[in-house]
Amino acid sequence: MVAEVSEQTRSRPVSILVVDDDAMVLQVMAAGLRQSGYAVTTTTSPLDGLRILRENVCDLVISDAYMPEMDGLTLAETANGIFPELPIVMLTGFGTVDLMREGLRRGASDFITKPFRMRDIPIIVERNLERKRLEKDRLSERSGRILFQAITSLLTAVDAKEHCTAQHSRRVADISLQIGAALQQPEAEMRVLELAAWMHDVGKIGTPDAILRKPGGLTDDEWQVMREHAAKGGEIIAQIEDLRYLASVIRHHHERYDGTGYPDRLRGDAIPLLSRIIAVADAFETITSDRGYRSSRPVSVAVDELKRHSGTQFDPVVVETLLRLLESGRVL
């Protein structure tokens, strides 16, 4: 049996730390685990065990429950506080229900009763690694779902204030993704791009209805208020910990390539690339889509507009990329 960690560490064997004040137990355990393909570090000192955990990558801990320096449950509790996903298996001379309850409460994930049969240990190791993996998957799936619902309800609130925002944002996200793919953005950046494009106008939730829905042109003061939506959007998103990395992309989606945009008058490459992509997609979508107060204009008008403002308002490389996509018929 060759043990391997599944995701992030495919190339290295599973690394196990064994802590027991009985050197004999350590020796037997280490030899057995190594034979099963695990990388093993041992120590007789729980404090040294904590140091090893802090300084090394470790996938699982097997620890004696009773040691003079620090008992195993305190070790489990401390290690669990630092690495909540680390499985910690307790070795006990006698397994009472109370001890197990106490152990689980303090961060242990499983128990091995001494004397143990070495052939059972890899099964216990794999069981605990797998359980932690499943817990992690379930947790991230659940938090992903909650996040998606939170985003959707935020966007629904904006859409209720300014009709068609949701439809516009979805389309800006689609166009942004096509530009991002053509610019060969890595997968992680593409995910950020999609969410940021989808949520780029979320700051309009704080813009007064009288301005958002005002027919005809806005006064200078009203424009000033309207422009605040970019910074506001960044601030709203920065409050959601899992989305903090989107905040600056959203904040800068109205910067101009020549440095005369808002909110920070960033210029050229100082503007996040994803914001430059969203700016072009946003303009293209706004021109070519139907808005309540204005019907859509042909793609050729949008193309002229993008060309005219390439290098001043828009990043020329991004404009060029969208034009190429349009020529090849990939964006409609």
Looking at beta carbons, which residue is closest to Fe ion? 201
Q: Which tokens is 318 given?
A: 């991004």
Stretch that binds Fe ion, among 144-152, 200-208, 243-251, 304-312 (CB under 5 A): 200-208
Determine contact, residues 161/207, Cβ cutoff 8 Å. Answer: yes
Residue number, 103 or 203, with CB nearest to Fe ion: 203
Secondary structure E strands in 21-148: 39-43, 60-64, 88-92, 110-113
Per the omega criterion (within 30 degrees of 0), is the bond before 263 cis? yes
For residues 143-182, which are near Fe ion according to CB under 5 A?
none
CB of 211 to Fe ion, least distance (A): 13
Residue number, 63 or 275, with CB nearest to Fe ion: 275
Residue 325, CA distances (Å) to 49, 178, 188, 229, 298 in order: 57, 8, 22, 29, 16
Stretch that binds Fe ion, among 106-114, 184-192, 201-209, 261-269 (CB under 5 A): 201-209
CB of 253 to Fe ion, least distance (A): 6
At position 324, the amino acid (one-letter code) is: R
Q: Is the Cα dihedral 223, 226, 229, 232 positive or negative?
A: positive
CB of 177 to Fe ion, least distance (A): 18
Of positions 201, 255, 305, 315, contacts Fe ion by CB under 5 A:
201
For residues 207-246, which are near Fe ion according to CB under 5 A?
none
Stretch that binds Fe ion, among 121-129, 166-174, 195-203, 320-328 (CB under 5 A): 195-203
Q: Is the Cα dihedral 323, 329, 331, 332 positive or negative?
A: positive
- Site size with Fe ion, rule: CB under 5 A: 1
Catalytic center residues? 204
Stretch that binds Fe ion, among 51-59, 198-206, 261-269, 292-300 (CB under 5 A): 198-206
| Sheet with 15-19, side-by-side order of all strands | 39-43, 15-19, 60-64, 88-92, 110-113
Neighbouring-strand partners of residue 91: 64, 112
Residue number, 19 or 212, with CB nearest to Fe ion: 212
Residue number, 201 or 285, with CB nearest to Fe ion: 201
Nearest-10 crossing angle of helices 165-182, 273-288: 130
Residue number, 59 or 201, with CB nearest to Fe ion: 201
Where along the sequence are the contacts to Fe ion (CB under 5 A)? 201
